[in-house]
Amino acid sequence: MKSAWLLVMGLAAAALSTSARAQDLDYNTIEIKTDQLAPNLYMLSGSAGLDPSHEDAAGGRIGVLVGPDGILMVDAQYAQLTDKVVAAIRRISAAPIRFLVNTHIHRDHTAGNANFARMGAVIFAREELREGMLGAAPLTNGNPAPAGDPARLPVVTYGMGPPVTIHLDGETVDLIPVRAAHTGGDTMIRFEHANAVMIGDFYRNYGYPFIDIANGGSLKGMLEALDATMKIADADTKLVPGHGTLINRTDLIPYRDMIVAIQGSVQQLIAQGKSLPDVLAAKVTAPFDAKVPGGLLPAGAGTSADRFVTEVYQQLKGGGQ
């Protein structure tokens, strides 16, 4: 009993320290940078070096499709940045913000949802994402899920069927469901004419991959998502991760190979009967550490390398689902 209680206390202390860290984020100093991806498609990113969870750019990246029919946004950033995001959008277009699509549930992508819904945006997302928002708030990146404002919830939801297609501003936008990868409710958003895909967080080039198992993510799904992305992308397709730099199809190959290699190393150690601490001590990411910026920086309880290896270990021990 006593040890269980100590564990609960320890978890509560860990939750407090991570939420305190999230509050340390000074939203006032964050600026929103705008980059044009195509004639009518833009991406908005937060300042670098201010968000301890995302050193490369504060919060999650936003996509903005503009044109005479109105605006479609991908993801909604931290709620505290909504005014700055709206100001950045208004420098591009005065049209109404009609649609908002969430790539996944994490608060750096959804916490602003309610603000944009109140401006009239209709929110689209996976059923799993909506259910996740309605359920008990799991810790994501050590932070609680967005608070309970009903306006934050997706209005139009979809499952793992064919893509949902939105025809807007002369563009064809496909909301492509991804089987449990970074989370259990991931969506890729493809802009067919712009030849760009906002892929969310199942790929990242700052820190090691993050499989949010508590929110339904899976190792197998992450590999499948990379394969699915390779199928829809050609050599010129701009692939836009939720964080980090823009990539193209060829960048996915070494990333996938790295995941498969680490998976193989962890599997081998499990076969030798090694425990999780043993597997972490074996530093199986060492061959990749020099090539993964931020890979050895803190993420959750340890480094992002430790977090990823722990996730791979848990997935392989649990049958890889």
Shortest CB 51 distance to Zn ion, Å = 13
Interacting residues toward Zn ion by CB under 5 A:
106, 201
Measured from the CB atom, the residue of 54 and 84 that comes closer to Zn ion is 54
Q: Provide the minimum distance between the beta carbon of 46 and Zn ion in the complex, in angstroms, as a whole number.
A: 14
Distance in angstroms (rounded) separating the CA atoms of residues 252 and 117: 34
**60 neighbors 75 (Cβ within 8 angstroms):** yes
Secondary structure E strands in 66-170? 71-74, 97-101, 122-126, 156-158, 164-168
Whole-number Å distance between alpha carbons of 21 and 52: 8
Nearer to Zn ion, 75 or 169 (CB): 75
Residue 168 or 197 having the CB closest to Zn ion:
197
Shortest approach of Zn ion to residue 140 CB, angstroms? 7
As measured in angstroms, the least distance from the Cβ of 106 to Zn ion is 4
Nearer to Zn ion by Cβ, of 141 and 157: the residue is 141
What beta strand segments (E) does the chain contain? Answer: 32-38, 41-46, 62-65, 71-74, 97-101, 122-126, 156-158, 164-168, 171-178, 186-191, 196-200, 238-241, 298-299, 302-303
Nearer to Zn ion (CB atom), residue 217 or residue 258: 217
Which whole-number Å values give the CA distances from 85 to 25, 35, 93, 138, 175, in the listed order?
17, 13, 12, 27, 22
Min CB(261)–Zn ion separation in Å: 23
